[in-house]
Structure 1
Amino acid sequence: MKMNNNRVSYGSYPSLSIMMVLVLLLGMVGFSATPVSAKTPKACDVNSSTLQSQLEQGRSSSIQEDIHFTDTDFLSQTTGRAAGNGFLIGTSDSGCHWQKIYTGTWQFSQIEFSSNTQGWALASAKSGQKPVFLTTTDGGATWKSPYKGNIRFNKIDKKSGSTGFAYTTSGVYKTINGGAAWTAIPTPANTRGGYFQDSNTGWVVKTVSGSNSGYRIMQTIDGGNKWTTALSVGSLEVSGGEIYASGKQVWAILYGGAGMSQVSYSVYASSDSGKSWRQVFGQSTAGGGKAPGTGALGNGEGPAQPGGHPGNMQFVGSTIAYLAGGSPAGGKVAVGRSLDSGKTWNNMPATIDGISADISFLSQNVGYLAVTDSLTPAIYTTKDGGKTWSATLKFVATDKQ
């Protein structure tokens, strides 16, 4: 066999091209010259009755409520987890397929993963019981409860390593040993929500009664030793609020009243670490009355109407904020967003069936939404910033089977 000007001579085939010889060779040894097609990727398993059956069978028999989601947490655009009452599942292919990670007693209310193996959670052993602080080092397959105290946490925030914060309805706590022990951070009287960015910088919502009733957004830069007022908002009704912060962005959700399946609330934003604020919108409702800081009609609405209830908030980069919302009256969930630190606000179309939702956004366009009620348990993904959604997983409520 010899090469000559890209031609090959082989035995009795002196002028055949390389391709022709290869075809003949393959034929001699019993192979077809027809190219083998690549395997077709397995279709996404959206309506996964098999997974739902595994979760329902694995959950504790003491859990009476229909299977439903309670929280989501994505580490990247492809890898994430979703938790519910008695189960935890995960995906590594953008929600195309989900696998069981945990089933059992724990009914999760919140999950916080800092890596694919290290995570914290709040969960109850029985419905209505105090949430227990839990930790995992194997991605959520097994859980331990290192804290043996009596503080009732309702929100946790895992930072790097063994450091993190936890929040009650009236206080803030910090741990430096992975949650085995918690130290109270001094906060103003009548604190009703807060968030700490690090050990020094934190924010709380303080309620004020009397002739000047309303809210005060308070800031500390020395770990709670001294607090200053960053924003004052008047409100006829005061019940509590939420603070979210990332970099120089600080957002506050302040609640008014509630009734007729509606809630009144206002959203305020700062793009300069609390030096200046703007009211992004104030949603007044017939059932909840005036939104804090507004007149009878308010000056805007949140996602999902009528009378939508706010869910969790997510930041992307230095200027983008997303807020989940759900309308019990309308039976829909959706998101609203600002791309400019609250200067403008847009509510995306409410097309997903549900009452409440939890979101996890990884970029301006890519995000996930879990419907967190038992009537329509499902997880959706968006690639256009919440304008349209595609289901990645749907379960069927027991009473619909």
Structure 2
Amino acid sequence: MASFLYSPAIDVLASVGRMVLSPFLSGPLLLSTTYYPDTVRHIIASIAKTLPEQVVTWLSSLPHPPAITTLRVLVALSLLRTVNRAFNTMASNSWRLCAAKGWDWPNEIAVVTGGSSGIGKGIVERLVALGVRVAVFDIQDLPKELQGNAHIRFFHCDVTSSESVAAAADAVRRELGHPSILINNAGIARTTPILKTSEEFLRRIFGVNLMSMWFTTQQFLPHMIQLNKGHVMTVASIASFVALATAADYSATKAGALAFHESLASEIKHQYRAPNVLTSVVHPNFVKTPLLDDFRGRLERAGVRLLTSDRIADEVIAQIKRRRGGQLVIPSSATGISGIRGWPTWLQEFLRDAVAKGAVKP
């Protein structure tokens, strides 16, 4: 049941749902069956061999009233879905539907925390491919494949220390200029029951996964506000919505990351009145990285399909290229989990129980 979080079957169902609720499918089909039923029957006859018998029977009944009613319902639902998506985009972008202006990738500077490995490394590679100059904040040295790249500057930085972040930020401004993109990606994880979690690790995980966002944002947001241009990207997790057994510390930091993103977006809009400074938050499902090494096998045995770092990096860069803010759940088929707090309590607990069975050691 833990596979509910991400499985091929759910992806297929989501794809079918998107197709069925596309106004570009149901709309033309409704018009053609209403005004050109003979043509529709002719087309059905010509492709009948490639369609399931039940589908052929249903389509052949057009323009039978029940079938027309079904199409009308699908058109109405698809239009509502399209309007809802447009409102979601506008709400995340100061009620602006168009993309933010003034972006020129070769003239942009990005800061990526945790950019030496995993998702961060993939993000750095893709930013460089756009022509963006990138400052990497990490305690790990750059991997060999990133060393020597004229578009990448490495700054040894402990993101849990405000002093270390401030020193690295000063160096970035001095050597590269003021960043217009901040990607708060650094993160650590370790599966440990609450009663066995040490204070030392608690302070470390909250520092890396959560407090670091304050330190980096305090350094780079003021200039973005001054120019009314920028993009702050927060890499959270599906754990923002579903607390994980044996990972209460990680789940708490990711729920905090979501709260950070939402508060930041509101402050930028209302306190600083900088509507062109964008904010985005990304919620990946379980990703195949070293962070999952100690319980990856249990997840896979439970049927959870792990995402790749490249998949997440692609989505992050696509969001930046869109020049819009927003909230992304990856894969999109898991978006419904974002509303878990509004589910009936018994259904929430059913999901948490199912996930826990894949995470807790036998």
Regarding TM over 0.5, the answer is: no
TM-score using structure 2 length: 0.27
Larger radius of gyration: 1
Going by fraction, where is strand more abundant, 1 or 2? 1
* RCO comparison, higher one (Cα < 8 Å, 6+): 2
Higher helix share: 2
